[in-house]
Amino acid sequence: MPLIDMPEFSGDLLAEFAARRTERVNTPVIQPAEPFLDMAGEDLRRRIFLTESETGANLCLRPEFTIPVCLRHIETATGTPKRYSYLGEVFRQRREGAYEFYQAGIEDLGDKDIASADARVIGDAIGILKALLPGRKLGVTLGDQAVFEAVVSALGLPFGWQRRLIHAFGDMAHLEALLERLARPQPVTGLYPEIAGLLASGNEAELVSRIDRTMQETGYSTNASRSPAEIARRLKEKLELAETRLDGTALLLLREFLTLQLPLADAPAALAGFADAAGLKLGPAAALFDARLAALANAGADLSAMTYRAAFGRPLDYYTGLVFEVTEAGSPAVLAGGGRFDRLLTLLGAKDHIPAVGFSLWLDRIEAVRAKQ
Amino acid sequence: MSVITIALPSKGRIKEDTAAIFDRAGLAISAVGNDRSYRGRIEGMDGVEIAYLSASEIARELASGAVDFGVTGEDLVREGMAGADQRVEFCARLGFGQADVVVAVPEIWLDVETMADLGDVAADFRARHGRRLQIATKYWRLTQQFFSSQHGIQLYRIVESLGATEGAPAAGQADIIVDITSTGSTLRANHLKILSDGVILKSEACLVRARKPDHEDDPRVAQIVEAVRGVL
């Protein structure tokens, strides 16, 4: 690439990507904005550079690579497994740093051996950073949403409550608010007596037709997004969930789990100990966690130098399992961040389920670390 | 001494109510030139100019620091700039132009009374309907802050609405709305209800000052603020 303002270590980086048997792809700088806003939510709108085409389509400057790389994969329909790499500029409004900066990374699509694919991308990220930052000590932190899901499920909470907690995973304030509600359930109030009666007698058919009638009368039916059956079903579920109380012991367990932070090498024993003491079975999630660690150790990673933090997650609904971050040891600046996003390709329109894991490198921060010798 | 510019609403009830308060505060405004002029001055106060602007332009001019004071709705100021409290000072709440910015959903959503309920619905909206929950509003910023920072709700889409927002759910343009209401009657007429914890902002007309360093030792600035506060 002839750009003269590329990071000076771009050549080394591309050589690393090639040695790691990835296919380098490029994506247009100008992207349709909808997929980003749809996947990451409206919050992203303030942070990206939006514009409009002459025909009114929402466009933006590429704010990251994962979504464009995945969209490109779906469009080109070249099958899996695939290991893509990218290196290019992204555009984002940040509190600190320039609005345009370089990112590079790897997206590993379609490998059904989850544990080894997870271990491979962590190894890729660390390996590349070690090559770019020789002699620097790195800090690696791992989290795993699947383990949290297993804990929540083992506590025997109703499915609706599990969904709420899993959805909030990674957002500690939101999670705390939910735990507070579980500790002190509030009964549902304000229902019309007639509706409350229908719910109490379990007459769901009549409830649905009541809702339907009101929708017809108020002219709302024509364009209603939520159907009478959906509203009735959730109303019923809401009443059930409102009665759910998590006893003090279970709440303490959940809180204790969320505070776990320890060397990764000790994490399997700690999780097993936690599960035993709590009388919980973590099942396949724990097995996958251990398998990932075994794969990492096999690849020569030093597990005692990495950290497992149980509450580490990303509150977006396409992340499914592993999340990880690499920093320079003792510094908060994230040099590489990644994770598993098994739901993303389906959400973007892929017909088949495609497991996916990847990471991106913050090249401006890496450059800054290289500069301070 | 530099000129102090006060931006006041150029039409409607809010213009009259503002003029009445300034009058009572001893800051009688006279038009420059003819009655329909968009410039004015305060009798007996030198170096103070009045600029008549639309309410939303006043918020914008305060954000850019092009005017020193403005009278406009708190909703427009907070929607118009990030970090409003660092950039402007709300000197006085004037007691008129009251309106709440609220989250309203179809009345028939019997299962949705709180923001937490809405969070549940938004979380699996895509799985059920193949798209995110859509919110019609002209308040992008206030909606984002309220939904994500205060209630942890990320997954929704904003559909820009420049008028008749209350009609959007029935017309199928959006599922719910964030809009301004004073009595709630338009919402009720459109079969919408306000969530019990869905009041984003209780807004009213305010005297707002753009925070500028040279205001600190300018006696006219303190004089204007105190005069208005004194009659409320």
Specify the DSSP class assigned to residue B2: P
Domain boundaries, chain A: 1-136+345-373, 138-185+246-328, 193-242
If you write DSSP's letter for every residue of A262-317 in order, what string do you get? Answer: EEGGGHHHHHHHHHHHHT---HHHHHHHHHHHHHHHHTT--GGGEEEETT----ST
CA distance A90 to A101: 6
Asked whether A46 and B149 are in contact (CB, 8 A), the reply is no
Shortest CA distance to A49 belongs to which of A35, A67, A24, A30?
A30
Whether A234 and chain B come into contact, CB under 8 Å, resolves to yes
Residues of B in contact with A177 (CB under 8 A): 152
Question: Residue A1 has what pLDDT?
Answer: 44
Residues B88 and B137 in one domain: no
Question: Residue A6 has what pLDDT?
Answer: 87
CATH of A138-185+246-328, one of 3.30.930.10, 3.40.630.40, 3.30.365.10, 1.10.3720.10: 3.30.930.10
Provide the shortest C-alpha distance from residue B130 to chain A (in Å). 9
Ranges of beta strands (E only) in chain B are 4-9, 29-31, 39-42, 48-53, 69-73, 88-93, 99-106, 133-137, 156-160, 176-181, 192-203, 205-210
Overall average pLDDT of the B190-199 stretch: 96
Nearest to A38 among B120, B132, B170 (CB): B132
Mean pLDDT, rounded, of chain B: 93
Whether A164 and chain B come into contact, CB under 8 Å, resolves to yes
CATH code for position B149: 3.40.190.10
**A164/B111 Cβ within 8 A:** no
If you write DSSP's letter for every residue of A48-114 in order, what string do you get? Answer: S-EEE-TT--EEEE---SHHHHHHHHHHHT--S-EEEEEEEEEE---SSS-SEEEEEEEEEE--S-H
Residue A155 sits at the vertex; the CA angle it makes with A153 and A156, to the nearest 5 degrees, is 70
What string of pLDDT tens digits covers the 373 residues of chain A?
A: 445 678 999 999 999 999 999 999 999 999 999 999 999 888 888 899 999 999 989 999 999 999 999 999 999 988 889 999 999 999 999 888 889 999 999 999 999 999 999 999 999 999 999 999 999 999 999 999 999 999 999 988 899 999 999 999 999 998 999 999 999 888 888 888 889 999 989 899 999 999 999 999 998 888 889 999 999 999 999 999 998 888 888 899 899 999 999 999 999 999 999 999 888 899 899 999 999 999 999 999 999 999 999 999 988 888 999 999 999 999 999 999 999 999 999 999 999 999 999 999 999 999 999 998 6
Nearest residue of B to residue A236, measured between CA atoms:
B111
Question: Residue A4 has what pLDDT?
Answer: 67
Q: Which residues does B73 contact at the CB level (< 8 Å), separation at least 6?
A: B55, B59, B97, B99, B203, B204, B205, B206
Query: Same CATH fold, A138-185+246-328 and A1-136+345-373?
Result: yes
**Whether pLDDT at B34 is above 80:** no
Rg (CA), chain A: 24
pLDDT digits (tens, 9 = 90+) for A242-253: 988 888 888 998
Interface predicted TM-score (ipTM) over 0.85 = yes
Nearest residue of B to residue A174, measured between CA atoms:
B152
Asked whether A166 and A175 are in contact (CB, 8 A), the reply is no
Residues B174 and B220 in one domain: no
DSSP-derived 3-state class of residue A150: helix
Q: What letter represents residue A68's amino acid?
A: P
Residues of B in contact with A215 (CB under 8 A): 108
Residues B108 and B223 in one domain: no
Nearest residue of B to residue A160, measured between CA atoms:
B120
Residues of B in contact with A230 (CB under 8 A): 128
Q: What is the sign of the dihedral through the CA atoms of B185, B187, B188 and B194?
A: negative
Asked whether A205 and A212 are in contact (CB, 8 A), the reply is no
What the block records as the tokens of A253 is 């367990």
Whether A231 and chain B come into contact, CB under 8 Å, resolves to yes
Question: Residue A3 has what pLDDT?
Answer: 55
**Whether pLDDT at B102 is above 90:** yes
Asked whether A66 and A107 are in contact (CB, 8 A), the reply is yes
Question: Residue B2 has what pLDDT?
Answer: 85
Dihedral angle over CA of B91, B97, B98, B103, nearest 10: -110
Shortest CA distance to B157 belongs to which of A32, A314, A51, A39?
A39
Residues B67 and B132 in one domain: no
Domain of residue B21, residue span: 4-97+204-230
What the block records as the tokens of A166 is 């899993």
CATH 3.30.930.10 fits A1-136+345-373, yes or no: yes
Residues B183 and B198 in one domain: yes
Question: Residue A2 has what pLDDT?
Answer: 46
